[in-house]
Amino acid sequence: MTRDATLDAVPEIAPHPPDNAARNKLVIALLLVSTFVVFLNETIMSVAIPHLMVDLGVTASAAQWLTTAFLLTMAIVIPITGFMLQRINTRPIYMAAMAIFSVGTLICALAPGIELLIVGRVVQAVGTAIMMPLLMTTVMSLVPPEGRGKTMGNISIVMSVAPAIGPTIGGFILSQFDWRFMFYFTLPIAVGALVLGAIKIRNVSTPRYAPLDVLSVILSALAFGGLVYGLSSLGEGAEHGSAIPSWAPIVVGVVAMAIFVWRQIGLARNDKALLDLRTLQHTNYSVSLVTAAIAMVALLGTSILIPIYTQSVLGLNTLQTGMMLLPGGLIMGVLGPVVGRLYDKVGPRPLLVPGVVAVTAVMWALTTVSQHTAIWQVIAGHIVLSIGLAFTFTPLFTTAMSSVPPRFYSHASAILSSVQQVAGAAGIALFVAVMSLRSAAEAAAGEAPLDALAAGIRAGFLCGAIVSVGMVISAWFVRKGNGDAPGGHGGH
């Protein structure tokens, strides 16, 4: 037996006999609840920027660092989680993640100014970055192949409902209380999850030695951090009339990424890679990864443009906007387990293809919005978009993770999460930059401000619609993974 085959046959996680079923269910449930809390935190602040600008006396660009710093930290920390999940057992890494997140939330709640508030958001992001790869890796290790669709459906609830209700909760809190109550709301839930985890969670993994290449960590931070920072800054640069400064960190990110990839390929020969890119040799995983990345561009780009459109063009307030987006998010969450069970029966393609077609159709429909569009049309479009995404993410995540051997689970989840962060930042940057440039051009041509902004928003959606066509094409090449079959190559 070759060395590679031997490694394939030795999973990172201990086997799951029937007497451990109750323990495994409890561990996954706690991870789901905790991940829900940290994901809720990602979007709860999206409606708070105007309030923070007034209360803290800062500019929009300074306040935007609350989001940029969060994304930047996530992009830097996530690639390291592949190493952490191999070296550290389930309980201590869970406790560390929730403790870090809770401390960050407390810092935000007590912050007297924007500087400490940004520090708190960075600390929160460190905890958040650990949770999603931990959840994905644990699920793939504990749940047998025939039940993974259902469990991944539950994960899609976390990924869809939490971000969807975040702006609604944030809007409600801001309409009644000070902005600090957004963190006072999250803190007891986070501490409760930490305490419950300390009492109930058990180790379900078998840590093994994994070397840490310090140069890879530095290159990873420059690569993912540079890309996310540069992309996040594009929209702001366009809004101020020049996007040129934003290209500097993108260039640094691209160069660092090229060196990072080259080094990982070399280190993988001796199983010393920070992110083992041999995962990408499994074709089905790579196709699923690309499709998920395009879906994230559509999701986050739309999530930033729709609130701008409803508030700045249609004249809704933050609470009304949050309530308008709530039905789609809740429907997406309800469909998660349903789509998961269907996946276990029919595989990815019968679900994925209609899902991406629905998403793309809505993106094209949004290219026609104006200041005269009825609110019910926007709500209906968002609901159809949410249904399409529900039929997209669960099959993609399940197929991607099922297409690699067990020893690659931690690397596969870290790569998937990293690509999501970069794709999300790219979606926001792309949509906002196109919107800003088109709006400025329309205003310079003498259009009224509302007409100019509406034209910019249509241009942003058009960009997303064109990108979404790629998702429709790639979805046809996704097929069901080979699961945990020993030595299985899952679409290699």
| Longest alpha-carbon distance in the chain | 73
- Return the pLDDT at 209: 63
Provide the terminal-to-terminal Cα distance of the chain, rounded to the nearest Å: 19
Query: Nearest Cα to 435, choosing from 455, 406, 412?
Result: 455
Q: Report how far residue 111's alpha carbon sits from residue 99's, in angstroms, rounded to the nearest whole number.
A: 18
The tokens describing 102, both together, are 């809770």
pLDDT at 236: 58
Nearest alpha carbon to residue 31 among 126, 114, 122, 130: 130
d(CA 351, CA 394): 9
Q: What sign results for the dihedral spanned by CA atoms 182, 324, 33, 145?
A: negative
**Residue 3 has what pLDDT?**
38
In Å, how far from its chain's centre is CA 302? 14
| pLDDT for res 492 | 40
Cα–Cα distance for residue pair 173/182, rounded to 1 Å? 7
Distance CA 106, CA 45 (A): 15
Q: What is the pLDDT of residue 484?
A: 37
13 forms beta bridges with 205
b/e sequence 206-243, b meaning 16+ C-beta within 10 Å? ebeebeebeebbebbbbbbbbbbbbbbbbbbbbbeeeb
Give the pLDDT confidence score for residue 103 in this predicted structure.
95
Angle between the N-to-C axes of helices 181-200 and 90-110, in degrees from 0 to 180, rounded to the nearest 10 = 160
Provide the 10 A C-beta neighbour count for residue 146.
10
pLDDT at residue 301 in the model: 79
pLDDT at 5: 38
Distances (CA, A) of 299 to 65, 71, 302, 329, 388: 21, 16, 5, 12, 11
At 478 the three-state DSSP class reads: coil
241: its two tokens: 């009339």
Residue 5's Cβ-count burial label (10 Å; 0-12, 13-18, 19+) is exposed
pTM of the model: 0.75
Distance CA 246, CA 450 (A): 27
pLDDT given for residue 11 in this prediction: 40
Tokens matching residue 238: 């366009």
What whole-number distance in Å separates Cα of residue 340 and Cα of residue 344? 7
359, 244 Cβ separation under 8 angstroms: no
Tokens read off for 479: 């097929």
* DSSP codes, 306-361: HHHIIIIIS---HHHHHHHHHHHHHHHHHHHHHHHHHHHHH-SHHHHHHHHHHHHH
The tens-digit pLDDT sequence of the chain (492 residues) is 333 433 333 344 444 444 467 777 788 888 888 888 887 777 777 667 767 777 787 766 677 677 777 877 887 888 787 777 777 777 888 889 999 999 999 999 998 888 899 999 999 989 988 887 788 777 777 777 777 777 777 777 776 677 667 777 877 787 788 888 889 988 998 898 888 888 877 776 666 666 677 888 888 888 877 887 777 666 555 555 444 456 788 888 889 989 988 988 888 777 777 777 888 888 889 998 999 888 888 877 777 788 788 888 888 877 787 788 788 878 887 887 888 888 888 888 899 999 999 999 999 999 998 888 889 999 999 999 989 988 988 888 888 888 888 878 878 887 887 787 778 777 777 787 788 888 888 888 888 888 888 888 899 899 889 988 988 998 898 887 665 333 344 444
- Residue 205 bridge partners (DSSP): 13
**Tokens at residue 26, please?**
């409890």
Architecture of the structural domain at 18-475: Up-down Bundle (1.20)
Whether the CB-CB separation of 393 and 482 falls below 8 Å is answered with: no
Question: How far apart are the C-alpha atoms of 218 and 274, rounded to whole Å?
Answer: 11
Place of tokens 């940290």: 38
Amino acid at 138: T
**Which 3 state secondary structure label does DSSP give 205?**
strand
